[in-house]
Amino acid sequence: ATTGSGFGGYANAVSAVEPEDDVSQFAEYRRLKTTMQQMQMTGVPNPYFTVHDGIVRDITVIDGKEYISFASYNYLGLSGHSRVTEAAADAVRKYGTSVSASRLVSGEKPIHRELENAIAKWVGVDASILMVGGHATNETTIGHLVGSGDLILHDSLAHNSIVQGALLSGARRRPFPHNDYEALDRMLTEMRSQYRRVLIVIEGVYSMDGDFADVPKFVEVKKKHRAMLMVDEAHSFGTMGETGHGIAEHFHMDARDVDIWMGTLSKSAASCGGYIAGSNALIELLKYTAPGFVFSVGMPPAQVAAALASLQTLADEPERVETLRKRSELFLSLCKEAGLDTGDSGGTPVVPIITGNSMVALRLSHRLKGDGINVQPILYPAVDESAARLRFFITSEHTEEQIRFTVTRTAAHLSELGFDRQVVAAGR
Ligand code: PMP
Using 50 as the pLDDT threshold, list the residues of the chain that sit under it: 1-5
pTM: 0.94
Q: How far apart are CA 200 and CA 180, in angstroms?
A: 12
How confident is the model at residue 347, as a pLDDT?
83
Q: Give 97-141 pLDDT, tens digit per residue.
A: 999 999 999 999 999 999 999 999 999 999 999 999 999 999 999
Which letter does DSSP use for residue 131 in this model?
A: E
How confident is the model at residue 77, as a pLDDT?
97
Q: How far apart are CA 102 and CA 428, in angstroms?
A: 47
The number of the ligand 1 atom at minimal distance from the alpha carbon of 73 is 8
Residue-by-residue DSSP string for 341-365: --TT--SSSEEEEE-SSHHHHHHHH
Ligand 1 geometric centre to CA of 131 (Å): 13
Distances (CA, A) of 132 to 2, 88, 321: 50, 16, 26
Ligand 1 geometric centre to CA of 135 (Å): 5
The number of the ligand 1 atom at minimal distance from the alpha carbon of 133 is 16
How confident is the model at residue 13, as a pLDDT?
59
Which residue has the CA at smallest separation from atom 15 of ligand 1? 134
CA angle 339, 340, 343 (to 5 degrees): 120
Ligand 1 geometric centre to CA of 235 (Å): 8
- CB-based burial, 98-115: b 16+ in 10 Å, e otherwise: ebeeebeeebebebbeeb
Ligand 1 geometric centre to CA of 262 (Å): 10
Pocket of ligand 1 (CB under 6 A): 133-135, 138, 159, 161, 203, 207, 232, 234, 264, 266, 274
Which residue has the CA at smallest separation from atom 13 of ligand 1? 134
Is the backbone peptide bond immediately before 47 cis, with ω within 30 degrees of 0?
Answer: no
Q: How far apart are CA 350 and CA 379, in angstroms?
A: 16
Name the CATH superfamily for 41-70+318-427.
Aspartate Aminotransferase, domain 1 (3.90.1150.10)
How confident is the model at residue 3, as a pLDDT?
44
Kindly calculate the radius of gyration of the chain based on its CA atoms and give it in whole angstroms: 23
Q: Give 373-414 pLDDT, tens digit per residue.
A: 999 999 888 889 999 999 999 999 999 999 999 999 999 999
Q: Is 393 helix (H, G, I), strand (E, B) or coil?
A: strand
Q: Where are the domains of the chain?
A: 41-70+318-427, 82-316
The number of the ligand 1 atom at minimal distance from the alpha carbon of 274 is 15
How confident is the model at residue 321, as a pLDDT?
98
CB 389 within 8 A of CB 352: yes
Which letter does DSSP use for residue 74 in this model?
A: -
How confident is the model at residue 381, as a pLDDT?
83
Which residue has the CA at smallest separation from atom 16 of ligand 1? 134
Residue 128: strand pairing partners: 277
How confident is the model at residue 420, as a pLDDT?
65
How confident is the model at residue 423, as a pLDDT?
62
How confident is the model at residue 426, as a pLDDT?
62
Q: How far apart are CA 174 and CA 170, in angstroms?
A: 12
Give the CATH architecture of domain 82-316.
Answer: 3-Layer(aba) Sandwich (3.40)
Which letter does DSSP use for residue 71 in this model?
A: S
H-helix or E-strand spanning residue 219: helix 215-225
